Structure 1
Amino acid sequence: MIIYGVALLAICTLAGVFVGDMLGVLLGVKSNVGGVGIAMILLILVKLWTHKRGGMTKECELGVGFWGAMYIPVVVAMAAQQNVVAALHGGPVAVLAAIGSVVTCGCTIAFISRIHKGEPLPDEPEDITSDAASIGRH
């Protein structure tokens, strides 16, 4: 059921916020450091892990997929509430975090492009129920 995907997201969000708060304490910053990003990375890892072991149903995957698609608007809304100028005046942690995230993303993309040999992805199996529903609408 889709609610399991939402529950999985909630668990990952709580874990991400906790780890982000702990990073903030370790770095001496009085705020969450990367909690939402950590939560989404955890969600991706858990989804891949359960999918590989056959533990994720189609409905659960739909719930996770829905919230994965909602990630960008949520992050944009959260970023709009932060005061970037105050963060920059507060110390070099914000600048270091930004540089670190850009470098990490660049290295990750380079790594993935090197290990991916250019084979096309396999075709997804067609869903008979969605085809029947779309035929009935025309």
Structure 2
Amino acid sequence: MIIYGTALLAACHLLGIFLGDLLGQAMGVKTNVGGVGIAMLLLIFARLYMQKKNILPKLTEVGVGYWGAMYIPVVVAMAAQQDVVSALRGGHLALLSALVAVGLCAVVISLINRMEKPSEEADAAALPTAVPTPHAK
């Protein structure tokens, strides 16, 4: 049922918030560090695991898909609440971690694009087609 997708999201969210708090404590800060991102990763891994084991009903998958799509606006809204100015005043670690994250994302996206096998349609579209030229008289 769709409600099971919501329950799976809730479990992942609670576990992500808990792990984010633990990560924050390990780093010596009194805040949640990446809890929402961890929750999203847990949701993705749980869905993939359940699909692989063939234990994910179609209606549950619909619920997981819906909340997975809703997670991006939630993350953006939560990020908007962060005080970026005070984070940058606190040290260069925030700037360094942002640059590393952007660089890592660029590398991963590049790797994913290179691993993708082109389809036959894309191959056919990439081939140049001969354009008939009018004969000179």
1:51-130 → structure 2 map (5 Å cutoff): 51-119=51-119
TM-score (norm 1): 0.78
Shift of 1:100: 2.6
The runs of 4+ residues in structure 1 deviating greater than 6 Å are none
Tell me the SS of whatever aligns to 2:29. coil
Shift of 1:107: 2.3
Shift of 1:119: 3.9
Query: Size of the alignment, in residue pairs?
Result: 120
Shift of 1:92: 2.8
Shift of 1:88: 1.0
Q: Distance in 2 between matches of 1:18 and 1:57?
A: 28
Structure 1 unmatched runs, 5+: 121-138
Deviation track 1:62-102 (CA, whole Å, cap 9, x = no partner) reads: 11111111112111211121111011112233223312321
Taking only the aligned residue pairs, the percentage that are identical comes to 58
Shift of 1:39: 0.9
Tell me the SS of whatever aligns to 2:85. helix
Structure 2 unmatched runs, 5+: 121-137
Give the CA RMSD over aligned residues: 1.7
Shift of 1:41: 1.2
Counterpart residue number, 1:131: none
TM-score (norm 2): 0.78
Counterpart residue number, 1:29: 29
Q: Which of the pair has more CA radius of gyration?
A: 2
Shift of 1:7: 0.9
Tell me the SS of whatever aligns to 2:72. helix
